[in-house]
Structures are given as C-alpha cells and as structure tokens.
Chain A
Amino acid sequence: MRRIALIIGLLFIGTVPVNAINISHEGTVPVAKPRYISLAPSTTEILFALGLDEEIVGVSSYCNYPLKAKNKERVGTFSRANTEKILSLRPDYIFCTGLEQAPIIAELRRLNLKVYVSDPANMQELFNSIRDMAKITGKVKEAENLIEHMENQIEEISSKVKLIPQEKRQKVFIEIWHDPLTTAGKSSFIDELLTLAGGVNIANDAGKAYSIFSQEEVIKRNPDCIILAYMDKESPQTSVGKRFGWSGISAVKNNRVYNDINPDLLLRPGPRVVEGIKEIYNKLYP
C-alpha cells in the first residue's frame, strides 16, 4: 500500500517537469552579449576564426585549438555532452556536427534549445557552413574575409598542382585507422583535400566516406605514399613496414609513409583544412 502511494506521489511530482520542458528558453535571458556553445572541435575553430571569443561560453573536452579554447568551460566529451552543464551556461545557440552527435542534437532541440549542425563533406559545404554560422553570430564580414583568405590559399596550391602532369601525380593511400584498416573514399572531405593537393586516392572506388579496406588491395594498388591520419608512437616505417606483405609497397620501400601531419588539419572540417592541403602537397611533392 505504502509503496503504491509512493509511486503515485512521485508520478505526480513528475508532472512538474512536463510544464517546465515546454517553456521556451528564450524569454529568460536578457539580450546582452550572445552566448554560444560549441560541441565539436571543428565548429570551435570556426567560431574563433570568425573573431568570437568572449561569446563562446562552453566547448567540448576535445576542443584544443586555438589555445584560448582550452581555457573555456568544458561541457562534455565529443560524443556525450552534459545537458545539465549546457543548460546552466544559458546558451543562445549551440554548434555541433552531425554524425555521432545526432542523439544529443535531438535531445537539445527537445529542450527548445537552438542548435546549428555543421557537417560539411566538401569545401563548398564548408564555406556554406561558415556563412551560416556567420549569419547566426552576426559576423558576416569576417566570414567573407575568412573564406576569401582560404580560397586564395587553395588557389596558390592549385596553380602549382596544375603544372604537374597526370602521370607524375602521386598515388596515395589514406589510412584513417589501422585496426580495422580504414580508409577514406571519394565522398569524404579528406579525399577532396588530397585531390586539391595533387594526390590520387587509391581508394576512390570505395563508395562510403569511411570504409574498411582490404590489405591485399593496398598491396595490389601499390601507392607511392601512405598518409597515416592518426598519432602513432612508433616510426611509421616500422609499424607499417612490418605488416605482412607491405614491405614491397612503393611507399614503404621509398620511405614515404607519413605520420607527421597533424590529423586535426586533415579531419576537422574547419579553417585549418587549407593548412592540411599545404602539408599534404609538401609531402607529396617535396
């Protein structure tokens, strides 16, 4: 009997939240300085690049660039942001990517929070994303400057690449992860970076953006270079070279396995992708 009363009592208390959740969040915040939270390293970089700083009140624990980002309040990891923390920071807008953050996005929207999802798969989409974020944050001029700057840098590399004949274009294997062996296909962003840098992705028939690739195929397609898009403690030559059958690959024989390009430059769809393109170009055509 008492147990029943307890449960009924608690269900009754539970009706309080239902009204609270339906309250729009806007009315409670005086429109002073806008407050933004970024749940992904890429959107954090974009926000800072647009000239925002004080307005950014919360970031994820993975946001490490620029250095100022490290001093910001942490709201959770990349895949699991803490809702309570986010609410307590009273954001006007939340920026994040799609992919793993999809469940969190649904939850935040349910709480009537405004969420912008930036999930560009190529350069054009990245520019659109920057422009969208600029519109939201009122930094339209800064966005155009940023985009122009990025386009110039890309043009600089492209013009150099145009001078390289097709046959001399380096065949590259992009290794996203070693176990299972994962590579990036034609629809991935990093593939476009590689192409802009003048490389040829040996896995460009892999349909998906990221897929598990067969070791035999890598050996068969004999890439000129291998780029490891992750931090590896061992010297790349040894860790890759000691794989069975890989010692015969051009890239291994000619010591062209690279693990020293900062993966953040390659995998974060943000302003620094142009640096990534530069680094790839320097490795491919020294």
Chain B
Amino acid sequence: MNPKLRKKIFALFAILIFTVLLGVLKGAVNIPFNKLFLKDNQLILSLRLLRILMGIVAGSGLAVSGIVLQAILRNSLAEPYLLGTSSGAGLGAVIAIIIGVWQIYLPLAAFIGAILSIILVYNLAKQNNKIPEQSLILSGVIVSVALSAIIIFLISISGNEALHGMTWWLWGNLQVYDFNLLFIVSLIVFLGVAAIYIFSQDLNAISTGEEEAIHLGIDIESVKKILILITSLIAASLVCICGIIGFVGLMIPHMMRLVVGPNHKILIPTTCLAAAIFMVACDILSRTLFPPLEIPIGVITAILGAPIFIILLKRSQRIK
C-alpha cells in the first residue's frame, strides 16, 4: 500500500475517534466532562452514544450502497433510495399509522413496505432474466413517484394527526430508543457491507464496462442480482429506523473516489470511515446549532455536503 494512502487512512481513523468524542461531549445540554459519567446523566450519555452508533451504521450503510449502485448501474446519480426503498418504507409507515399499530410495528411495516416496493421495481425492470440498467433506474423512479402520490393521498384523506409527526421521516433522525432494533439493523448493515466487500473484484471489473466484466470472467447477471439484493436490504433497514437521509449515499462515494481512487478494495473501507465521520459530525451540528431546537439531519447533510464536494472537485480538476 503506498505511503500517501496509508497516511490518509490513518487520518480518517483519527478524525473518526475525535468526532465520536465530540459527539459524546456536545449536545443540546451543556454538561461538563467530569459530570458526564454521573448516574444522573447516564440516560443522556446513553442517548448520545446510541445516536453516534446509529450515525456510524447509517453512514457506512448508505455510502457503501451508493458505491455499489453507482458501479453496477454505471450512473453517477445513483443513490441508495433509487429502487423505491424510501417511498415503499414511507407507505408502509403511513399504513401502519392509519391502522393504528404504529406504536410497536412501525419499523416492521416500513421494512416490509420497502422490500415490497423493491420487488415491484425489480420485476418491472426484468427482461428475459436480465436486468438492464436503464430499465431499473426508470422503474425505480416510476414506482417512487407512484407510491409517493399514494402516500400524499392517504395523508390528505385521513384525519389522523399522528401523520403530521411523520415529517421527521422526510428529513431523517438518528435518535433511536429501541436498542434491539438498532442491534438488528447494525447487524444487517455490517454483514451487508462485509458481503459487498467480498465483491470488490467484481465491482472493479464492472466499473470498466459490462461486456468488459464478462470478458474477465464475471457472471454479471448473478452478481448484479446479489448486490441489488444486499443494497436493498441495507437501505430498507436503515430507512425504517432513521428515515430518509439524503446526500450521503450519493456524494460520499464520489468524494472518496477523488480522495482514494476507484479501486473498490480500498474505496469501500475508507468510505465507511469517511461516511461515519460525516454523519456523526452532521448529527453534532444538528443538535448544537440552535439548542434546544434540533435541525433534521437530512438538512445538515445537504447544506454541509455540497460545498465540501465542490472543493474536492475543484482540487482534482486543478491537478488534472
């Protein structure tokens, strides 16, 4: 591994640890470090740790899903929610609220909704057992739009005011209280990312072109199906626990390609680190900018991410 790369990875680790510490120390309430571990404040400390963990898991999951979809669809605008995940999850959640079972079953309903919508997108796009990229993207967009329309319709005819609380969904929220759910989702994301890493070689080959990949011995149809399945599971489970957090899955992959290159064997682990840092940092900002007001994290990721990406892009263009 070349020394410049080693330095970059070391820097990423250091920044992550620093950011996590900052996340523990900072919050809507100012608690001095020596008082933080008192029994009285244990609950607040736990809430912060849960958020940080959620941020790391969500960041890695979304960013790596973005990498995979951008590689196999060969489209720079691909992102984790492309295949209908977000609107499917939203529809599941809305139905759960309307039926009245949302207190216990909201995440499950959202998950089922996401999975069903992905299955729908997949089957619409399929042509003779092959999935052409263009059809997949098109079906994803169509299904998303259609489901969103149904969601809006249901909200408008239903008198259920709990639906108003659904706005957190649209902009994301890292605060989780259900540790069991967080554990399950973390497990799914962890296993998913590890499985994707195993396909690094295939992703490298597919980046050079679909036919090129076949010429290198990659069974692209099977690989595409498996990877779409894994990214769908990751995206669906993340959406049902923390809502829709945009920008991370779309831009962090591009940013990291500019920093460490397109080789997926290096890109995937470093992107996990970078995305974790980004999410935790955005979460800290969302909690500490205007306390006790909490700015939804999706707003912060968008506002913060765009300029960082532009800076990196300009730098890389100058080097060229």
Q: Do chains A and B touch in the complex (CB under 8 A)?
A: yes
CB distance from B237 to the nearest CB of A (A): 15
- Please indicate the chain B residues that have their CB under 8 angstroms from the CB of A212 in the complex: 156
**10 contacting pairs across A/B (C-beta < 8 A):** A11-B186, A14-B50, A20-B42, A28-B40, A82-B293, A85-B291, A87-B43, A88-B29, A90-B40, A212-B156
- Which residues B137-186 have CB closer than 8 A to chain A? 156, 159, 161-162, 164-165, 167-168, 175, 177-179, 182-183, 186
Task: State the CA gap A82–B176 with chains docked (Å).
Answer: 13
**Partner among A7, A16, A209 whose Cβ is within 8 Å of the Cβ of B49:** A16
B179 touches A14 (CB 8 A): yes
Counting CB contacts under 8 A, is B31 at the interface?
A: yes
Q: Beyond A14-B49, A18-B179, A20-B46, is A79–B39 a contact (Cβ under 8 Å)?
A: no
Q: Beyond A25-B43, A88-B44, is A110–B178 a contact (Cβ under 8 Å)?
A: yes
A79 touches B292 (CB 8 A): no
A21 touches B46 (CB 8 A): yes
Counting CB contacts under 8 A, is A2 at the interface?
A: yes
B165 touches A79 (CB 8 A): yes
CB distance from B26 to the nearest CB of A (A): 10
Task: State the CA gap A111–B161 with chains docked (Å).
Answer: 23
CB distance from A238 to the nearest CB of B (A): 29
Chain B residue nearest to A85 (CB atoms) is: B292
Q: Beyond A74-B292, A90-B40, is A101–B165 a contact (Cβ under 8 Å)?
A: yes
Task: State the CA gap A192–B18 with chains docked (Å).
Answer: 58
Task: State the CA gap A88–B29 with chains docked (Å).
Answer: 7
- Please indicate the chain A residues that have their CB under 8 angstroms from the CB of B42 in the complex: 20, 23
Counting CB contacts under 8 A, is B47 at the interface?
A: yes
Task: State the CA gap A72–B27 with chains docked (Å).
Answer: 20
- Please indicate the chain A residues that have their CB under 8 angstroms from the CB of B44 in the complex: 84, 87-88
CB distance from B252 to the nearest CB of A (A): 15
A99 touches B183 (CB 8 A): no
Counting CB contacts under 8 A, is A77 at the interface?
A: yes
Counting CB contacts under 8 A, is B133 at the interface?
A: no
**Partner among A10, A76, A110 whose Cβ is within 8 Å of the Cβ of B292:** A76
Counting CB contacts under 8 A, is B262 at the interface?
A: no
Counting CB contacts under 8 A, is B194 at the interface?
A: yes
A100 touches B186 (CB 8 A): no
- Which residues B84-134 have CB closer than 8 A to chain A? 103
CB distance from A15 to the nearest CB of B (A): 8
Counting CB contacts under 8 A, is A70 at the interface?
A: no
- Please indicate the chain A residues that have their CB under 8 angstroms from the CB of B294 in the complex: 76, 80, 82
CB distance from B42 to the nearest CB of A (A): 5
- Please indicate the chain A residues that have their CB under 8 angstroms from the CB of B13 in the complex: 2, 6
Give the total number of A-B pairs whose CB atoms are below 8 A apart.
119
Counting CB contacts under 8 A, is A4 at the interface?
A: yes
A10 touches B53 (CB 8 A): yes
Counting CB contacts under 8 A, is B282 at the interface?
A: no
User: What sequence of 0s and 1s flags, for each residue 1-36 of chain A, a beta carbon within 8 Å of any chain B beta carbon?
Assistant: 011101100110110111011010100100000000
CB distance from A25 to the nearest CB of B (A): 7
- Having A6-B16, A85-B28, one finds 7 other A-B pairs with CB under 8 Å, namely A3-B273, A11-B53, A14-B53, A16-B49, A25-B43, A102-B162, A104-B165
B27 touches A100 (CB 8 A): no
A88 touches B31 (CB 8 A): yes
CB distance from A203 to the nearest CB of B (A): 14
Counting CB contacts under 8 A, is A103 at the interface?
A: yes
A100 touches B272 (CB 8 A): no
Counting CB contacts under 8 A, is A211 at the interface?
A: yes
- Which residues B43-102 have CB closer than 8 A to chain A? 43-50, 52-53, 56, 60
- Please indicate the chain B residues that have their CB under 8 angstroms from the CB of A82 in the complex: 28, 291-294
- Which residues B280-320 have CB closer than 8 A to chain A? 287, 291-294
